[in-house]
Chain A
Amino acid sequence: EPEVTQTPSHQVTQMGQEVILRCVPISNHLYFYWYRQILGQKVEFLVSFYNNEISEKSEIFDDQFSVERPDGSNFTLKIRSTKLEDSAMYFCASLWTATFEQYFGPGTRLTVT
């Protein structure tokens, strides 16, 4: 069964460093998303991406965040200068337009020290 994959599963970085989180959405899906979940809190929407551009972003998704689909399969989230408060689980998701079901990857746990 097709699934969304994410790498790495865990990333530890120092404050101020850049990180790139990688996702491979399900191959015939056209809408892609990043969400995050700070420990003990609810899942929050960051950004949606369609047709090679951002379709919507939340107030969390400020200038330090960017997304890219560098080739036909990968979808990346870059955080330019990480802050302690960026520590969270980051989830990638893709949407099946036939049903509008969103399927999530296993997440990348980002720890900023």
Chain B
Amino acid sequence: SQQGEEDPQALSIQEGENATMNCSYKTSINNLQWYRQNSGRGLVHLILIRSNEREKHSGRLRVTLDTSKKSSSLLITASRAADTASYFCATDPKETSGSRLTFGEGTQLTVNP
């Protein structure tokens, strides 16, 4: 089954605005993690939210999880040009062992100065 579909595929905002990215998935999960990837570079871990959590904060990041709707959102507040990157959600499905992650297609965020 396809997991971790993000929307929008691309988002362009002005510096200082908030950016919201959404992720949907299809099967039950242990946790969901968000990553950032600058063009052609590695994946930077942003935040993990467990299946029994509904909201989590880290600095300017706020993640929500709705397991009944199988969806998550990542909010970046007061965005900066340096936040320009691709953002991926990745799920750790209950059906698999060993915490293999299933990634979505990602949202390309552009923050204009």
Interface-facing stretch out of B16-24, B66-74, B76-84, B90-98: B90-98
Classify the secondary structure of A's interface with B: strand
A104–B97 touching, CB < 8 Å = no
Query: CB-CB contacts of B38-55 with A at 8 A, as 1s and 0s?
Result: 001111110010000000
Inter-subunit contact B48/A33 (CB<8 Å): no
Residues of B contacting A44 in the complex (Cβ-Cβ under 8 angstroms): 103
B113: shortest Cβ distance to chain A, in Å? 26
* Smallest beta-carbon distance A50→chain B, Å: 6
Q: What CA separation (Å) do A16 and B101 show in the bound complex?
A: 30
For B97, give its contact among A43, A56, A89 (CB under 8 Å).
Answer: A56
Are A42 and B97 in contact, with the CB atoms below 8 A?
no
Instruction: Given the known inter-chain contacts A42-B88, A43-B90, A104-B45, please indicate yes or no for A33 contacting B100, CB distance below 8 A.
Output: yes
Interface pair A100/B48, CB less than 8 Å apart: yes
Contacts of A101 in B (CB 8 A): 33, 45, 48
Q: A45 and B101 in contact (CB under 8 A), knowing A91-B42, A102-B33, A106-B42? A: yes
In the complex, the answer to whether B99 meets A95 with C-beta atoms within 8 Å is yes
> In the complex, what residue of chain A is closest to B41 when comparing beta carbons?
A106
Kindly state whether residue A105 has any CB partner on chain B within 8 Å.
Answer: yes
Known: A33-B100, A43-B88, A102-B99. 9 other contacts (CB 8 A): A33-B101, A42-B104, A55-B97, A89-B40, A100-B31, A100-B48, A100-B99, A104-B42, A107-B42
Q: List 26 A-B contacts (CB under 8 A).
A: A33-B101, A42-B88, A42-B104, A43-B88, A43-B101, A43-B103, A45-B102, A48-B99, A50-B98, A56-B96, A56-B97, A56-B98, A56-B100, A91-B43, A95-B99, A100-B31, A100-B92, A101-B48, A102-B33, A102-B45, A102-B99, A104-B42, A104-B43, A104-B44, A106-B42, A107-B42
